[in-house]
Amino acid sequence: MYTIVIAEDENWLRSELVEMVERIGGEFSVVGEAMDGEDAWHMIQDQWPSILLTDIRMPRKDGLELIRGIADNGMPIVPIIISGYDEFTYAQQAVRYGVSEYLTKPVLQEELEEALRRSVTRMSMLGELNGCLKRINSFLESLASLDSGGRQSELDGVLRYVWNVPVAHPRSRHSVLAIFERKWAELIRDMNPAYSPPAAGDWGDRAATAARFRRQLEEWSFAAVSLAGQDHRPTIARACDYIGRHYMQPLTLGRMAQQASLSPSYFGQLFKQYAGQSLVNYLNAVRIDKAKILLLEEDIKIYEAAEMVGFVSLPHFNRMFKSLTGLTPNDYRKGMGLK
């Protein structure tokens, strides 16, 4: 499966792009939608997608900054840029950072599918590095469920895996290790604000690198023990209450995490732990529940109900409604005795 993060500040176009990817289906799946570059950067670090589909001009951090960050960090992600005809100069700059796929607005599904297929070919050269990132992500997600011996053993296994993967450029391996350290330090800092991560040294020195990660393992264990008695349910309850009052607005993981004063990755883990599902799935469920109430009003059209609960794409709403209720909006209305 090839995962995709879409960064686009225009709600209608972002939803259209999601719809296109869903229609293409098969091996492609959207794992994140961002309305600005800052949210997109958080998603990239949290989700580690295979492909970034990004507009060039966006608030807070533009598409060029995202692509530059991917290139500077040697991240194994294939970027595809979208721009208007008047942004060709920006597109030329993107080429310097290894972008080979450039789509102009309005984006056609056939063109997008062709760009995704070509990206898969480029991705074959990054497969080993993506394997590293998946292994690291799995380790970070399992930290809390492993005992101390299991954590140490798994950490050693992750480091061996990263060091033994053949890569064309050593910088790419170093970037993977840097991402690992940054994500882990962020996780520890959320649990213990006083934590100060060790200064990064020479990534080429295996012994020093292993020692730094072992120190972080000790810090994580200490922070986890200190938080063992804390109850995060009030934080997630406040988040759920906020969603219940603002579900019609464009809510993102980054925005919700910021309100809770937590990193997006840590907030996402806490939300899933206490709410029993991801933020995106919870938000969709709330929106569909609200839509079911609106659809009982005969004077409200289906597309109006979709817009009122926060969906900017009617096809997306229809698919989500059927996925969660087993019925289309029309069938739901008929079942309730309405036309």
Do residue 268 and residue 297 come from a single domain?
A: yes
What CATH code is carried by the domain that includes residue 331?
1.10.10.60
Residues 6+ apart with CB under 8 A from 58: 7, 8, 9, 35, 36, 37, 40
Do residue 270 and residue 187 come from a single domain?
A: no
How many structural domains is the chain composed of?
3
Do residue 80 and residue 112 come from a single domain?
A: yes
Do residue 106 and residue 135 come from a single domain?
A: no
The boundaries of the domain holding residue 245 are 233-335
Joined together, the tokens standing for residue 141 give 């997600």
Do residue 29 and residue 95 come from a single domain?
A: yes
| Angle separating helix axes 264-275 and 170-191, nearest 10 degrees | 60
Listed residues 227, 244, 259: the one ending a domain: 227
Do residue 209 and residue 238 come from a single domain?
A: no
Do residue 118 and residue 136 come from a single domain?
A: no
Element (H, E) at 133: helix 127-142
Do residue 7 and residue 119 come from a single domain?
A: yes
Do residue 91 and residue 191 come from a single domain?
A: no
Do residue 198 and residue 242 come from a single domain?
A: no
Listed residues 123, 153, 171: the one ending a domain: 123
Q: What are phi and psi of 69, to 5 degrees?
A: -65, -40
Listed residues 193, 227, 261: the one ending a domain: 227
What CATH code is carried by the domain that includes residue 39?
3.40.50.2300
pLDDT in tens, the chain (339 residues): 788 999 998 888 888 898 888 888 778 888 888 888 888 888 887 777 889 999 988 878 888 888 888 887 767 788 998 887 555 566 666 666 667 788 888 888 899 999 998 888 777 666 666 667 677 777 777 776 666 677 777 777 777 777 776 655 556 666 677 777 777 777 777 666 666 666 666 666 667 777 777 777 767 666 665 555 566 788 899 999 999 999 999 888 778 888 887 777 678 778 887 888 888 889 999 999 999 999 999 899 999 999 999 988 888 898 889 989 999 999 999 988 876
Question: What is the Rg, in whole angstroms, of the alpha carbon atoms belonging to the chain?
Answer: 22
Q: What are the respective helix, strand and coil percentages of the chain, to the nearest 5?
A: 65, 10, 30
The Cα-based distances of 244 to 12, 239, 275, 276 in angstroms read: 23, 9, 14, 16
Element (H, E) at 24: helix 11-24
Do residue 6 and residue 88 come from a single domain?
A: yes
